[in-house]
Amino acid sequence: MTITRHEPSKIYSKAVEANGFVFTAGIVADDVSQDIKGQSQQILKEIDRLLKLCGSDKSKVVSATIWVTDIRNREPMNEAWTAWTGGQNLPGRACIEAKLADPRMLVEIAVVAAK
């Protein structure tokens, strides 16, 4: 099996291809001054870029894990999510309340997609 790691840092790769799947790291927003909807939109745009880099796209996402710092903010995040998916090809998904590495970060998303 061939494993391809994309955009590695000292501690993780942003995306990994293995066995016909693409796994993204937990992606956070670059501009953490935005609200959770704005941060979610940034993250989903970055996920689009990473999936394209690996020869996939959002229609092939089979699983998503979403971490929010306050579960009460789930609805505005869902607005961005629904706009991104268009209500089609919906993956299995978990949404979990958690502390993130930087208190300005409001949401983090990781996906698994087929190639």
- Cα(103)–Cα(77) distance, rounded to whole angstroms? 17
75-110 residue pLDDT tens:
999 999 999 999 999 999 999 999 999 999 999 999
Contact 44, 79 (CB under 8 A): no
The residue behind tokens 């942003």 is 14
Q: What is the DSSP string of 37-77?
A: HHHHHHHHHHHHHHHHHTT--GGGEEEEEEEES-GGGHHHH
pLDDT tier for residue 1 given thresholds of 50, 70 and 90: confident
pTM (2 d.p.)? 0.97
pLDDT digits (tens, 9 = 90+) for 27-58: 999 999 999 999 999 999 999 999 999 999 99
